Structure 1
Amino acid sequence: MAKKHTKIAIAYDFDGTLAPGNMQEHSFIPKLGINKGAFWSEVKEKAEQHDMNEILAYMHLMLKKANEKQIQITQKAFEDYGKDIVFFKGVEEYFGKINAYARTKGLEIEHYIISSGLRDILKGTKIHKNFEAVYASAYEFDVNGVAVWPALAVDYTNKTQFLFRINKGIKNSWDNSKINKYIKEEERSMPFSRMIYIGDGETDIPAMKMINYQNGASIAVYNPNIRAKKGKLSPKQICQELLVHKRATYIAPADYSEGSELYNLLTSIIDKIALDQELKRYMQS
């Protein structure tokens, strides 16, 4: 009988973590014919004016701008936008390689996305098939598949909720009874100590801090090609601050190629988890 592999989880932010920029900037905003900087500035103004959640502000503004330009926002259109997303180096090949490495250590990886971006854009990406579940902002669609209302907004604080969903084996966003039900630590589907969180910045701080507190590992990744500008830190400098203030456990460039700094860091964490599992077996014998 084949040996059963121990499951571990890697949860990823998306924008700036697996792909440069924001997913709306790859196709949707250019189709509107507006400047991406102007769009996000308007989002911030709207949020401040109405004391509004910034994620809900961008979701509302997307609908408003699309209606003004007579561009229909449908489920299919979102998935088509996802096809245009370009990833960081090595991402498309990474999942198969890291899964194979983990199996040599007696582990099986479940991959998850926790993103403020749009779930239906993510569905259209080349890498969507690699994820056990995608927790991301989403619209409700009418019978014709047209977006009519925000169904789910994922922001920097409620990202932690989805880590608990992974922890308890809840692969949806709606079940609020099971998420609040008491389950003994040893009976939970995915212990936090076998979880890795990968994000790129300040919006990932609560998730990283929570994973660190629960003895998991957090990695802040950065685009090495973007330098600091006047009055603005580079992505690397932002990640260095996260490390100094113990918000992230590790930092690395967002290069997922085999042999890269990030890939080697992940294999080292996998090695540690495998060793911890082996030591636990001695404690139980």
Structure 2
Amino acid sequence: MKPFEKGLAAPITLAIAYDFDGTLAPGNMQEHSFLPKLGIAKEAFWAEANAIAEANDMDGILAYMQLMLQKAREKGVSIHREDFMDFGRDIRFFPGVEAYFERINAFALRQGIRLEHHIISSGLREFIAGTAISRHFTNIFASGFKYDDKGVAEWAALAINYTNKTQYLFRINKGIHNSYDNNLINKHIPEEEKPVPFSRMIYIGDGETDVPAMKMVRYQGGATVAVYSDHEVPRPGKPSQYELCRELVRHGRVDYIAPADYTEGSKLDYTIKLLIDRIRIVEELAKQR
């Protein structure tokens, strides 16, 4: 019987932070139903967004968000907050994702650990809020729009790119559940008072756009996992997602890799459970000093 089960220890909090696109769901979230609704090929949309960013020396996230609004207006597609949530309901996930959260929560609790799940994504928080899994997240830190008094999207309110993802790790670390409070995030908090030390964090992402966040978590003593699709269509002259993940391991940017399969007994499921076990063991050993 474990110490927690004997009533000798209170559960500790462990945070798992996830990227979204390519991590929990294949592709980019706009490609599931938003771009098809507009009748725009995904290749054409992203090429135009990248061209706008380059021509204006502009952040790529802001460029794609502005282009989404522009194209929707041109096509007469409604862009209320509820419309974006509806597009989120069409998102399909990697195998096992929808059943994963409750199952992994129950596993962790048996080890004396209370799990928090957080999203840190360059995608759109409105889309994610509309998905079948949104209720499992303590925070959805993702790009989002500002709305007018009629609920119509009019401007980018928040753009999360691959470098500023790292600030949201500190928000999780300090228990800050918003994107606007910059006073508390810069305030000194003794390590023992932080709700989630980095040593009790796991970051799961799909590749290069997650490198700064992964490096930060590893540097601070947490664990990182890079996932890849087992059903990727080969791209002539380009490395596969698996090869990119292996490269991240070789360069010391990520600890472990696994196919993006969240079903019970998969390599990813087993890896996450081992990390949960390891964190609990380290916490218990620290008490023996």
Give the equivalent residue in structure 2 for 1:149.
155
Residue 141 of structure 1: CA displacement?
0.7
Is 1:123 the equivalent of 2:161?
no
Residue 4 of structure 1: CA displacement?
2.5
Is 1:106 the equivalent of 2:112?
yes
Which residue type is aligned with residue 189 of structure 1?
P
Q: 27-36 or 227-236, which moves further after superposition?
A: 227-236
CA distance in 2, matches of 1:57, 1:236: 29
Give the equivalent residue in structure 2 for 1:234.
240
CA distance in 2, matches of 1:116, 1:86: 18
Q: Which consecutive residues of structure 1, in runs of 5 or more, have no partner in the other structure?
A: none
Q: 185-194 or 254-263, which moves further after superposition?
A: 185-194
**What secondary structure, in the 3-state scheme, does the structure 2 residue paired with 1:4 have?**
coil
Give the equivalent residue in structure 2 for 1:53.
59
Q: 180-189 or 132-141, which moves further after superposition?
A: 180-189
CA distance in 1, matches of 2:253, 2:36: 35
Out of 180, 192, 196, which is 1:174 matched to?
180
Residue 227 of structure 1: CA displacement?
4.5
Which residue type is aligned with residue 61 of structure 1?
L
CA distance in 2, matches of 1:15, 1:129: 18
Which residue type is aligned with residue 66 of structure 1?
A
CA distance in 1, matches of 2:153, 2:116: 30
1:138–1:152 contact (8 Å) kept in structure 2: yes
Which residue type is aligned with residue 116 of structure 2?
E
Which residue type is aligned with residue 54 of structure 1?
G
Out of 259, 266, 279, which is 2:285 matched to?
279
Which residue type is aligned with residue 281 of structure 2?
L
CA distance in 2, matches of 1:63, 1:94: 34
Q: Which consecutive residues of structure 2, in runs of 5 or more, have no partner in the other structure?
A: 1-5
**What secondary structure, in the 3-state scheme, does the structure 2 residue paired with 1:282 have?**
coil
**What secondary structure, in the 3-state scheme, does the structure 2 residue paired with 1:115 have?**
strand
CA distance in 1, matches of 2:215, 2:151: 38
Q: 207-216 or 179-188, which moves further after superposition?
A: 179-188
Out of 158, 166, 179, which is 2:164 matched to?
158
Q: 232-241 or 255-264, which moves further after superposition?
A: 232-241
CA distance in 2, matches of 1:165, 1:270: 21
Which residue type is aligned with residue 68 of structure 1?
E
Q: 218-227 or 88-97, which moves further after superposition?
A: 218-227
Is 1:19 the equivalent of 2:25?
yes
Residue 229 of structure 1: CA displacement?
2.1
1:136–1:153 contact (8 Å) kept in structure 2: yes
1:119–1:135 contact (8 Å) kept in structure 2: yes
Which residue type is aligned with residue 73 of structure 2?
N
Give the equivalent residue in structure 2 for 1:132.
138
Give the equivalent residue in structure 1 for 2:90.
84
CA distance in 2, matches of 1:228, 1:249: 25
Residue 230 of structure 1: CA displacement?
1.5
Give the equivalent residue in structure 2 for 1:62.
68
Which residue type is aligned with residue 101 of structure 2?
F
**What secondary structure, in the 3-state scheme, does the structure 1 residue paired with 2:268 have?**
helix
Out of 202, 205, 222, which is 1:199 matched to?
205
Runs of 4+ in 1 over 3 A off after TM superposition: none
Give the equivalent residue in structure 2 for 1:256.
262
- 5 Å matches for 1:216-235? 216-235=222-241
Q: 225-234 or 208-217, which moves further after superposition?
A: 225-234
**What secondary structure, in the 3-state scheme, does the structure 1 residue paired with 2:288 have?**
helix
Residue 180 of structure 1: CA displacement?
0.6
User: Percent identity of the aligned residues?
Assistant: 57
Q: 57-66 or 179-188, which moves further after superposition?
A: 179-188
CA distance in 2, matches of 1:75, 1:278: 46
TM-score (norm 2): 0.96
Residue 228 of structure 1: CA displacement?
3.4
1:38-79 deviation line (CA, Å, top 9, x unaligned): 000001100000000000000000011011111121100000
1:227–1:235 contact (8 Å) kept in structure 2: no
